[in-house]
């Protein structure tokens, strides 16, 4: 137990220091670096739960650490804060670090704190309450709330390829993760793609899971799965979302991946 807590604390401190060091121009300290507070960006996903537990139970302050957890509603907001150097670190999937590097916001992955297995549901596409259980192809055509040009769109399209090949995706733009919950539960959108624990929450409120990522090997990686990172990185690069022209092997050669 103590080893796990120490790993959690050390990882957060290391990530904050490294992100600041790489993001700050040489000789010019940014606001985060000049502060004793470690500002740490998180999303409302189950992987971030250990950070909130450590914060609420005072594990950080017990070690003399002043950690501020900043909850963002979307990955776009979180990444913008990193690019603006208003946060020193973040908890997210591995792909985010590559995107930041490719778009001229240097960062480094220094630790993974939460690993999943293939039989765990981490993301799901759900139908609104009262709509029964439409097929994935029907729901995709009717409309699924999600975030375009992100790993969420990548995941949604991978699920469609796996379970409804040839289906047309009507992606309803909803960058904010929490905003998709009332949109779905009120029936303002036919469907939505959400992460855990929000999947379980809306399911208990009457939403129906139409497809999830269990056993498919397609979830945006939060663990060191190089094949998945490479696939999702290339998908974003081919869509022109990344400014970098580096291929996957060149990313490795440049030291952006260890």
Rg (CA), the chain: 19
* Structure-token pair, residue 142: 């009717």
| Segment (H or E) for 9 | helix 2-23
176-198, pLDDT tens digit by residue? 888 999 999 999 999 999 988 89
Domain, as residue range, for 200: 123-212
Do 105 and 127 have their domain in common? no
Do 137 and 77 have their domain in common? no
Last residue of some domain: 196, 212, 228? 212
Do 9 and 106 have their domain in common? yes
- In the chain the first and final C-alpha atoms are separated, in Å, by 28
Number of H helices, E strands in the chain: 12, 8
Do 111 and 140 have their domain in common? no
Residue 2 exposed, middle or buried by CB count within 10 Å (0-12, 13-18, 19+) = exposed
Residue 204 domain-assigned (yes or no): yes
60-92, pLDDT tens digit by residue? 888 888 888 988 887 778 878 887 888 888 877
Do 96 and 150 have their domain in common? no
Do 64 and 24 have their domain in common? yes
Residue 46 domain-assigned (yes or no): yes
Residue 232 domain-assigned (yes or no): no
Global pTM reads 0.63
> Which of the given ranges, 53-57, 94-98, 100-104, 137-141, has the highest pLDDT on average?
137-141
Do 9 and 73 have their domain in common? yes
Indicate the pairing of strand 171-173 with strand 66-71: unpaired
In SS3 terms, 200-231 reads as HHHHHCCCEEEEECCCCCCCCCCCCCHHHHHH
Residue 95 domain-assigned (yes or no): yes
Residue 76 domain-assigned (yes or no): yes
How many angstroms separate the CA atoms of 213 and 219, rounded?
Answer: 6
Do 158 and 73 have their domain in common? no
Q: Residue 131: give its domain's CATH number.
A: 3.40.190.10
Distance from chain centroid for Cα 37:
23
Number of domains in the chain: 2
Do 158 and 75 have their domain in common? no
Residue 234 domain-assigned (yes or no): no
Last residue of some domain: 81, 116, 151? 116
Residue 241 has pLDDT above 80, yes or no: no
Last residue of some domain: 101, 116, 131? 116
Residue 246 domain-assigned (yes or no): no
Do 48 and 149 have their domain in common? no
The reported pLDDT for the residue numbered 100 is 72
Residues across the chain: 258
Q: With pLDDT > 90 as the criterion, what percentage of the chain qualifies?
A: 26
Do 10 and 103 have their domain in common? yes
Closest CA to 96 of 37, 43, 145: 43
How many angstroms separate the CA atoms of 181 and 194, rounded?
Answer: 8
Do 80 and 160 have their domain in common? no
Q: How confident is the model at residue 102 (pLDDT cuts 50, 70, 90)?
A: low
| Segment (H or E) for 154 | helix 151-163
How many angstroms separate the CA atoms of 94 and 225, rounded?
Answer: 9
Residue 182 domain-assigned (yes or no): yes
């Amino acid at each position: 137990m103590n080893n796990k807590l120490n790993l959690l604390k050390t990882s957060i401190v290391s990530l904050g220091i490294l992100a600041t060091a790489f993001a700050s121009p040489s000789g010019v300290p940014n606001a985060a670096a000049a502060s004793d507070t470690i500002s740490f960006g998180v999303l409302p996903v189950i992987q971030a739960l250990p950070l909130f537990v450590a914060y609420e139970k005072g594990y950080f302050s017990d070690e003399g650490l002043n950690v501020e957890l900043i909850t963002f509603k979307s990955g776009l907001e979180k990444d913008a804060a990193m690019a603006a150097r208003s946060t020193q670190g973040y908890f997210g999937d591995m792909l985010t670090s590559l995107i930041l590097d490719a778009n001229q916001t240097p960062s480094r992955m220094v630790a993974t704190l939460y690993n999943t297995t293939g039989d765990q549901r981490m993301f799901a596409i759900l139908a609104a309450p009262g709509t029964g259980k439409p097929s994935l192809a029907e729901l995709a055509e009717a409309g699924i709330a999600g975030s375009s040009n992100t790993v969420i769109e990548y995941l949604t399209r991978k699920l469609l390829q796996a379970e409804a090949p040839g289906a047309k995706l009507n992606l309803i733009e909803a960058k904010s993760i929490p905003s998709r919950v009332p949109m779905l539960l009120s029936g303002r959108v036919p469907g939505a793609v959400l992460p855990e624990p929000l999947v379980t929450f809306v399911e208990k409120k009457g939403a129906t899971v139409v497809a999830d990522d269990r056993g498919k090997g397609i979830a945006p990686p939060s663990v060191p799965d190089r094949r998945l990172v490479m696939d999702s990185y290339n998908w974003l690069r081919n869509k022109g979302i990344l400014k970098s022209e580096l291929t996957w092997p060149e990313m490795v050669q440049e030291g952006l991946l260890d």
